[in-house]
Structure 1
Amino acid sequence: MAPLPAPLVWKSPEVLIATGLGSGRISPASGTWGTLAAWVLAVTLPKTAIIFLLILACAAGFWAINEFQKKSGTHDNGMIVIDEWAGIWVAMLFCMPHRLDQLALAFLLFRIFDVLKPWPVSHFDKNVEGAEGVMLDDIVAGVMAGICVYGYGLWMH
């Protein structure tokens, strides 16, 4: 597990939320681990539960990221993965009802868009500051992955 930047404390609410209940402290590839944790958490849930979790992750995530960044003096620290949680949940909303092939594709495409940051993901990553920028680039990556998965679903049926 990666150490927390001073003066953050592991058990504080902003750290627990920002790090996706600690999944962002797993290295290497903390973003992938964080995405996997959120994916596993939501894979069997109904659409309404994922929507609820997404709203909760966004609301709590903006607050937690702001606090994490303010206290640590860092921007978009690799341990912050609540944005990945929100992004993968957005992508998963496009694959209802739950089909394992679509859910796996949502995971793969979300990670590709999150890592490579094609436009418009790159626009939000580079031009929107603070917690909003951290969250929005992943939400846009989730929308892009979701649209691709939705198209795949239409093509397969």
Structure 2
Amino acid sequence: MSRILATFFGTGLLRPAPGTWGSAVAVALGMLIDRVAGFPGLALMTAVMIWAGFWAVNRELSDRPGEDPSEFVIDEVAGQWVALLFPSAAFWARGWDGWMPWPAPVAAFLLFRLFDIWKPWLVGAADARGDAAGVMLDDLWAGLFAGIGVMIAAGLYHGVMM
């Protein structure tokens, strides 16, 4: 079960770029969760995914410290959902009952992938830990930074440019 979760039901086995596939699947699934259950549902599922990710990665890497297998994409799913929480919360607070408008999930995806690959500051520090927790934490930091970036971009576009 931990292997199935760590690869997010086989998504991490897709090639090339399993992390990008994991993020893309996470965006699609996150948008669906947001549509069906709103921000509270996405927040709950994000918390469940974070817990499941720490459990699965810790279990899978217990005898392989220092590894971060590319097929483990549950960390990308959790981090991508953290990034989606920001626009989801903003739309939910305004009573939005439709699909999350297209710029928000696209921006969350692009910014998350940028921070996940670039690994600035706390993202890189978490990645450098070399343990199972670091596998999850770098993507959670990347998701937090991406979510903040989405909100800054939205504020600039809607507040300054329009």
Ranges in structure 2 where 5+ consecutive residues have no aligned partner? 92-99
In the TM superposition, residue 103 of structure 1 has moved relative to its aligned partner by: 1.0
Task: Tell me the residue number matched to 1:39.
Answer: 27
What is the root-mean-square deviation in Å for CA atoms of aligned residues? Answer: 1.5
Describe the shift of the 1:81–1:23 C-alpha distance in structure 2 as closer, same or farther (beyond 3 A). Answer: same
TM-score, L = length of structure 1:
0.86
Describe the shift of the 1:85–1:121 C-alpha distance in structure 2 as closer, same or farther (beyond 3 A). Answer: same
Equivalent-residue separation in structure 2 for 1:73 and 1:146 (angstroms): 30
Task: Tell me the residue number matched to 1:154.
Answer: 155
Kindly indicate whether the alpha-carbon contact (under 8 Å) linking 2:8 and 2:73 is maintained by their aligned counterparts in 1.
yes
Task: Tell me the residue number matched to 1:29.
Answer: 17
Larger fraction in helix: 2
Q: How does 1:105-144 map to 2 (within 5 A)?
A: 105-126=107-128, 128-144=129-145
1:24 alignment partner, SS class: helix
Equivalent-residue separation in structure 2 for 1:129 and 1:53 (angstroms): 27
TM-score, L = length of structure 2:
0.83
2:84 to 79, 92, 113: 92
Q: How many residues are matched?
A: 144
Is residue 145 of structure 1 aligned with residue 146 of structure 2?
A: yes
Ranges in structure 1 where 5+ consecutive residues have no aligned partner? 1-12
Amino acid at match of 1:29: A
Kindly indicate whether the alpha-carbon contact (under 8 Å) linking 2:66 and 2:131 is maintained by their aligned counterparts in 1.
no
Per-residue CA distance 1:66-97 (angstroms, 9 max, x = gap):
12113567711001111000100010011122
Equivalent-residue separation in structure 1 for 2:148 and 2:66 (angstroms): 32
Identity %: 40
